[in-house]
Amino acid sequence: MTETTAVTLRPLGQSSLSVSPLGLGCWQFSRGSGIVGRYWSNLKDADILDIVRVSLEGGMNWVDTAEIYGGGKSEEALAHALDQLQQDGSLHAKPLIATKWWPMLRTAKSISSTIDERLTCLGGRSIDLYQIHQPFSLSSIASEMKAMAGLVKDGKIRYAGVSNYSAQQMVEAHRILQQYGLTLVSNQVKYNLLHRKIDENGTMEAAKELGISIIAYSPLQQGILTGRFHKDPSQIRAVSRMRRMQSGLDEKSLARSKPLIDLLSVLAEKYGVTPGQIALNWLIHVHGDTVVAIPGASKVRHAEENIGAMSFQLVRDELEQLNEASWAALK
């Protein structure tokens, strides 16, 4: 039986949850289903099991999924993999679980009325962190936080978080939860070396001030920070036009980010790791314990690379070099 790799845990917000700096993002387990899930192909059960096993045995102790990921398919696939690990007698079958409620065209009442469906999809496992996936719904933040507080009181969830909230929305959610004796634990947002809007719009500053964790999704900017598109531009042809526009895969953007990729490569050679692992390591250390990230993995080698990013730590000078190169790439 494989022993867990030693990884230093950190607090998630002002909660009692202690998490590894990287958790497993599970969007890719959507079975290719639904509007959001179609982004990914339908992974086989055996592949999902291997990805989950390698991630958890490698030191990750939490997973992040969502209702909208295939309309519960991701949650079910994750639960099935964890069931198998449990049957195999694995010591890693009980990670902390984060999932999300989808708010579009719904009211806060749906938070309470659909929670049992979430629990069922997760195989009866408890939800450690329940998040509002987007700030856009038919109800106010106050109504949604009241519903979330009710779920905590009823023992349906342990803690409440949000996703894609602005600084102002995040602060409001935190303030309202405090009225119920709770705190907002986290805000899940896009954040990486090539996407740093939260550093400019006050979200990062407010999170630090209030003790709210930032959960970074898309930590490798759709693969650009691995350096593979700079190394072999022909790979860009296989990427959809929409993804190219969203991710900065055009010629001008790639030229601008090349010095950053070159620096990632230099540091990767020094540490005997990959450029992507350097990018992830920067993300989870540059702001102390404030930022944790949820890289996905559609292949076992992706999972192995993710956990390897927690096996070393860049020194402060290197973090600052990357910081400067990052801002230069974004000008």
Catalytic residue numbers, as ranges: 69
| Residue 22 per-residue DSSP state | B
How many Cβ atoms sit within 10 Å of the Cβ of residue 200?
10
| Beta strands per DSSP E along the chain | 10-11, 18-19, 24-25, 62-64, 96-101, 127-132, 157-163, 186-190, 213-217, 291-293
Nearest-angstrom CA–CA distance, 286 and 298:
27
CB 81 within 8 A of CB 114: no
Nearest-angstrom CA–CA distance, 77 and 28:
10
Token pair for 12: 């998630």
Partners of residue 207 on adjacent β-strands: none
Percentages helix, strand, coil for the chain, rounded to the nearest 5? 50, 15, 40
Q: Tell me the one-letter amino acid at 216.
A: A
Residues 6+ apart with CB under 8 A from 279: 192, 193, 219, 220, 225, 226, 264
Residue 79: its H or E element: helix 73-87
Q: β-pairing, 186-190 with 157-163?
A: parallel
Q: What are phi and psi of 310, to 5 degrees?
A: -100, 5
Q: What are phi and psi of 165, to 5 degrees?
A: -85, 145
Nearest-angstrom CA–CA distance, 215 and 253:
25
Reduced to 3 states (helix: H, G, I; strand: E, B; else coil), residue 326 is helix
